[in-house]
Chains A and B, each alone.
Chain A
Amino acid sequence: MSHIVDRRKNDKGKSTGNRQKFLKRVESQIRKAIPDIISQESIKDSNTGGSVKVPVRGLDEPAFRHDPKTGRKQVVRPGNDRYNEGDRIPKPKGGSGSGGGKGSNSPEVTEDEFTVVLSREEFLKYFFDDLELPNMVKKLMESTESFEMKRAGYTRDSVPSRLNIKTSYQQSLGRQLALKGAFEKKLQNLQEQLAKTKKKDERAALEVEIEKAKRQANTIPFFEDIDLRYNNFERVPIPVTSAVMFCIMDVSASMGHHEKDIAKRFFTLLYIFLTRQYKNVELVFIRHHTEAKEVDEEEFFNSRESGGTVVAPSLKLMDKIMRERYDESWNVYCCQASDGDVWSKQDALECKNLLLETILPCIQYMAYIEINNKSKESDLWQAYNRISNDEEFSIRHIYEVYEIWPVFQGLFRKRKEAAVS
Chain B
Amino acid sequence: MSTTNGTPTAPKKIDLSSDQEVRWCPGCGDYSILKQVQTLLEQSGRKKEEIVFISGIGCSSRFPYYLDTYGLHGIHGRAPAIVSGLRSVRPELSVWMITGDGDSLSIGGNHLIHLMRRNVDVNVLLFNNEIYGLTKGQYSPTSPQGAVTRSTPLGSTDHPFNPLALVKGADGTFIARSMDRDPKHLREVLARADAHRGTSLVEIYQNCNVFNDGAFETFTEKATKPLTTIFVEHGKPLVFANGTRGIKLNGMTPVIVDTYAGGASLDELWIHDERDAFKASILVRLFEDPRLEGAMPRPFGVFFVNDRPTHEAKLTTQLAQARARKGPGDLDALLKGEHTWTIG
Q: Do A and B come from one complex?
A: no
Q: Which residues of B contact A (CB under 8 A)?
A: none
